Structure 1
């Protein structure tokens, strides 16, 4: 592959990866403002967002399977077109002061195709980018996505102050740009028959679990930032300092991963998991603002890049035909972790939720270590069995004759 073309494809894919997240990043504020205009209660916006997220969990893998025998680029563009049309329907419903049920239904349609579209977008990286640049490109994509989640809520709130419908329409249109900017992907050969047992091959579950527990820890800090600040007898505004620290640290960690551009040895993955566990524990202790900020920085610097690296490992362990489905499942898994954390914070408390997230991280680190030791033990036994026995010593007389 030509170096210039590969570099251009990497940047275009990373930009598409960041722009793809615009509707999801701006939806909480835009839907809250739309609900406020429709029912007079901004809390109804959470119902719209919940419908969008729930539909994503239900539709990610089944819809990804529908494109198994189709052109990957065309199917991705179809999914983006459906999402854009559904979001524009939300904007029209808001502008016409339609009932909240229409807004919820339109948002559900947008969410239904979102997980599958993510799977095909992530799969595009494996087809467009040479393996030597894959980790670097994933790091740049995470950086682009982090900037999206920083800028889009501000952008959505600014437009929403003028018109909530305008804010929804704007994030819908911007979110459709990956369908235009993503390079065309050559159609692969005829797909091979897939195993009927499921989309998760052996060995992938470990990386799915690793991504899930890291997403849970990051979500606990992001969603519970205000509660963490209140637990420290601080003003609610200090929650923004905690989320800002997490975001800046994740940008730093993703930049390091991109600059390093190397596959992590197993020991590095264990170290990063252990660091994320320690960081989550520092936040869970809730001793002071300094320890909470330090813990948030550690979780951001170690946990967020590790989620991206898990997708790299998952992509290496499945056939090309299965990648869109498995990447959609990865998106479903991390989204389910976020929903579970949100529910735990509401049902229990932020302290209990953070302790649960810490325990999940520790369990993942322990499980990965145990798996590594077992594989190493079996490898040593196998190598001993394959060693050729020493050749019998020749009689001394034959040596002399030779």
Structure 2
């Protein structure tokens, strides 16, 4: 199959309406796929508490999962060359669920904590690739004209998962930490049951997947995704410290995380209703508002502006994430979409890792200010590019 034939096939296949059964299955798979990431911080903290008596050590399992995702995204995605997208995706999801099931068995068997950390890393190893192949599968299901709405719906469902995931993990973890991890394995494995196999499109032969993938244009948007991931992580991870800074109990971190999540859901709904890609100037404005949001959170020193900053950042999350996905979709060679989408998820995870390191090494306000500065620089680069292209 040549590159031309592959591109033609990809354009010819997407005929499903967003309310069709294959699309509804895809939306379900998309929401379920992120359950392990959404529930891991709480579930793994409860695991560490039950074994070692210190919930903070659950961060070691989360870090192992995230680092493994970054390391495995591209190599594992490339292993799927020449295989049907849906079939390879099912296999990856099954491997992740098996690793999580191993944690459950390890808890009952009393294995060392280091073994559980290793299993968490194995579960995270496929996260980037699963996202890449699921996103590539969407191109075989719906048309370009429906893509913004589809991505908006997916973004909204993703935020709902991240809102409900910790609640589910807390409730089940109160009964048993193993039960919370088991829920991660079962719910995170739902894509195996709902992915439409007849809609899969074979990947291109290996001889057509060589060559440079990350061009300067692609690198720019991957950097934006990383900066955005760092920004959201700064608010979510720093929420407890922010609550303490304003004189509240640690549980009042919800003052910042809940408005952020609600705003991000509203942003996804807006994209779904609008169903249009943002113009280059609109993207610059969205990035500027995103920068303003994290800037207010970092520098305001007052409760209400800090919360408003979190809301502003949350509102911009889905529009910008949708734009990155649409731009990379257009820039990626059709036969390497899965690889590029895995890179997109990896860039986001990289931003989370950087933010975690900053919050660990620096005082809260300095760490937030550093993230805000990175977001501002990224916005400036995109604005300069937009001005230059407009003048050309």
The answer to whether TM tops 0.5 is yes
Contact 1:214 1:304 in 2 (8 A): no
Cα deviation per residue 1:1-59 (whole Å; 9 max; x = unaligned)? 65657643333222211111111111122222222232333233222222111111111
**TM-score, normalised via structure 2 length:** 0.91
Q: Is the 8 A contact 1:284 1:351 kept in 2?
A: yes
Q: 1:280 to 1:5 in 2, by over 3 A?
A: closer
What secondary structure is seen at the aligned counterpart in 2 of 1:33?
helix
CA distance 1:195–1:374, shift in 2 (3 Å): farther
- The reply to whether residue 251 of structure 1 matches residue 265 of structure 2 is yes
Match of 2:154 in 1: 141
Across the aligned residues of Structure 1 and Structure 2, the Cα RMSD in angstroms comes to 1.8
Query: Take 2:25 and 2:105, find their aligned partners in 1: how far apart are those partners?
Result: 31
Decide which moves more: 182-191 or 239-248. 182-191
Q: How do 1:208-227 residues align onto structure 2 when only pairs under 5 Å count? A: 208-227=222-241
Q: How does 1:193-232 map to 2 (within 5 A)?
A: 193-194=207-208, 196-232=210-246
SS at match of 2:140: helix
C-alpha deviation, 1:201, in angstroms: 3.2
Counterpart residue number, 1:399? none
Equivalent of 2:384, from 363, 370, 375? 370
Residue number in structure 2 paired with 1:120: 133
Q: In the alignment, what sits opposite 1:37? A: 50
Whole-angstrom CA distance in 2 between matches of 1:189 and 1:142? 25
Change (3 A) 1:152 1:189: closer
**Over residues 178-233 of structure 1, what are the superposed CA-to-partner deviations in whole Å (9 max), with x where a residue is unaligned?**
12112223334744744644431342112111111111111111111122222233
Farther-moved stretch of structure 1 (309-318 vs 59-68):
309-318
Whole-Å separation in 2 of the counterparts to 1:245 and 1:72? 36
Alpha-carbon spacing, 1:5–1:366, altered in 2? closer, same or farther (3 Å): closer
**Higher relative contact order structure (alpha carbons within 8 Å, sequence separation ≥ 6):** 2
Runs of 4+ displaced beyond 6 Å: none
- 1:311-322 aligned within 5 A: 311-322=325-336
Is the contact between residue 215 and residue 303 of structure 1 (CA under 8 Å) also seen in structure 2? no
Query: Partners in 2 of 1:171 and 1:78 — Cα distance?
Result: 17
SS in 2 for 1:157: helix
- Give the CA deviation at 1:347: 0.4
Alignment of 1:301 with 2:319, yes or no, is no
Q: 1:162 maps to which residue?
A: 175
Change beyond 3 A, Cα 1:359–1:237 = same
Q: Distance in 2 between matches of 1:189 and 1:349?
A: 47
Between the aligned partners of 1:124 and 1:190, the Cα distance in structure 2 is 14
Q: CA deviation at 1:363?
A: 1.2
Normalized against structure 1, the TM-score is what?
A: 0.89
Aligned-partner Cα distance in 1 for 2:295–2:146: 34
Q: 1:347 matched to which residue of 2? A: 361
Task: Check 1:69–1:334 CA distance in 2 against 1; reply closer, same or farther (3 A cut).
Answer: same
- Unaligned stretches of 5+ in structure 1? 379-402
Residue 78 of structure 1 is aligned with which of 81, 91, 96? 91
